Amino acid sequence: MRAIVRGPAQPEIHSCRGTETVERGSATRRGRGAPGSALFGALRRHRRSTEVDGPRSAVAGNGNCGFPAQHASGSYRVPGDKSISHRALVLAALADGVSEIVGLAPGADVQSTARCLRALGITIDIEGNTTRVHGRGIAGLRAPTSPLDCGNSGTTMRMLSGVLAGAGIEATLIGDASLSRRPMERVARPLAQMGVQIETTNGHAPIRIRGRATRAITWESAPPSAQVKTCVLLAGLFCDGETHVHESLTTRDHTERLLPQFGVAATGARVRGPAQLHATRIEVPGDFSSAAFLLGAALATNVSGVSVTNVGINPTRTGLLDAFRALGVSFSQGDVSAISGEPTATVRCAPSTLRAANFQSALVARAIDEIPLLAVLCTFANGTSELRGAAELRVKESDRLALVARGLAAMGATVDELPDGLRITGGRALHGTTIDSGGDHRIAMSFAIAGLAAKGETIIDGAEWADISYPGFWTTLGEITRGAVRVDT
């Protein structure tokens, strides 16, 4: 599937400072937006809005001065948080009784966790926005009859490794081509120390687990990884004594926040086993990592604001907001509340003039999935920005540093790929091109945001990968931008 993202309309006469904005959009000349088509309607609405907003859109601070900005506005909700959803499903499966999860993430990754849990004997029913998990207690999982397919989901594979090891369930974990390239020794090492027999395939999936983890351990998690931390803590639930994960940099703490919801005390990344979990009701906040793209759309277009309501703002996840501060993004947080141990808010981004900034490993750990988007935002900022301490991005669903560097360079950005990061000199107009998502949801969505600011059209090949974390992304982006996005199946 391809997504076509239209950048700012290109005027034939346009003044950056003046009050007059005269547009004769090139989109119509390229044969798109024929009268009667939805895109045509969107273009007309867009023109009306840029006429009203004329001078403001002309001085957009996104490096595209010279092109009236595309429009992005409105108030939106995003699907439930993917990380919290994986954990809620797994903990509910280990609890006694039926747990209800409201707002479970709909993406393919969370479905992989649900599929594996069903293969382990857990009944999961979905009714509207509520998912019921029929937990079988800490000792209730059944051995699967075939390999557990984790699809594209690293979180599924690493979390379930811990559960299977602790429960003493013999199983093989497999994944798709991308997941089979990702490092798995990082979970095999602590689990082996806890006493289970675990074999990777040259450090990768398939992973074979036999025997049982019985020894509580203290584990130094390096590189920082919430998936590894969760894997060890989940195995620790089954062991006698205290299991503790020490991390040099803070990573997302959703497991630590969810455990008490199931009646298990967790002080920081410490659990005491053997634990007993009780069924509960969990409400899942909107996924900050998905909201980031909608906020990014506001910055790419820079005409008016975008708000995302009911979004999780757990501080271990919101490194991007710190990055916003450093870049000079104008944003606000309102309606601050909390659900199921997680803080939530409405986050709003307003038009902003961005300045370059430098980002280091502590911020990267709290914005690990937002780094490709952050790199795109750096192309809108005047000056040279550096992102360092981000070598982990090379072992995500793709080598994200390489794909971001290659894609941004193809769009005309000045970018250097560093061993552990990127150096980006912003302020130069991007131009549309064809970007291959590389089978990576976050690459597909990040380049859609770049495309909104780029001259002409940006084609995202492999756009369907957005469904891994954000089904409906292309529709929502189309709505936000009043039709700047089209999808070809």
Give the catalytic positions in this structure: 369
Minimum distance from residue 394 beta carbon to ligand S3P (Å):
12
Minimum distance from residue 71 beta carbon to ligand S3P (Å):
30
Q: Are residues 112 and 156 in contact, defined by beta-carbon separation less than 8 angstroms?
A: yes
Rule CB under 6 A: is residue 227 a binding residue for ligand S3P? yes
**Interface region with ligand S3P, contact rule CB under 6 A, candidates 57-65, 169-177, 224-232, 450-458:** 224-232
Question: 443: phi > 0 → left, psi -120 to 50 → alpha, else beta; which?
Answer: alpha
Minimum distance from residue 470 beta carbon to ligand S3P (Å):
12
Rule CB under 6 A: is residue 105 a binding residue for ligand S3P? no
**Interface region with ligand S3P, contact rule CB under 6 A, candidates 22-30, 226-234, 326-334, 341-349:** 226-234
Which residue among 14, 115, 212, 252 contacts ligand S3P (CB under 6 A)? 252
| 152, 158, 187, 191 from 205: Cα distances, Å | 12, 10, 11, 15
Rule CB under 6 A: is residue 247 a binding residue for ligand S3P? no
Q: Which is nearer to ligand S3P, 113 or 458 (CB)?
A: 113
Minimum distance from residue 230 beta carbon to ligand S3P (Å):
6
Minimum distance from residue 47 beta carbon to ligand S3P (Å):
39
Rule CB under 6 A: is residue 83 a binding residue for ligand S3P? yes
Q: Which is nearer to ligand S3P, 110 or 209 (CB)?
A: 110
Q: Are residues 295 and 75 in contact, defined by beta-carbon separation less than 8 angstroms?
A: no
Which residue among 49, 57, 113, 155 contacts ligand S3P (CB under 6 A)? 155
- Number of residues lying near ligand S3P (CB under 6 A): 11
Residue 166 CA to residue 192 CA, distance in Å, equals 11
Q: Which is nearer to ligand S3P, 397 or 464 (CB)?
A: 397
**Interface region with ligand S3P, contact rule CB under 6 A, candidates 29-37, 118-126, 223-231, 296-304:** 223-231
Rule CB under 6 A: is residue 369 a binding residue for ligand S3P? yes
Which residue among 226, 308, 404, 411 contacts ligand S3P (CB under 6 A)? 226
Minimum distance from residue 374 beta carbon to ligand S3P (Å):
14
Interface residues with ligand S3P (CB under 6 A) are: 83, 86, 155, 225-227, 230, 252, 368-369, 392
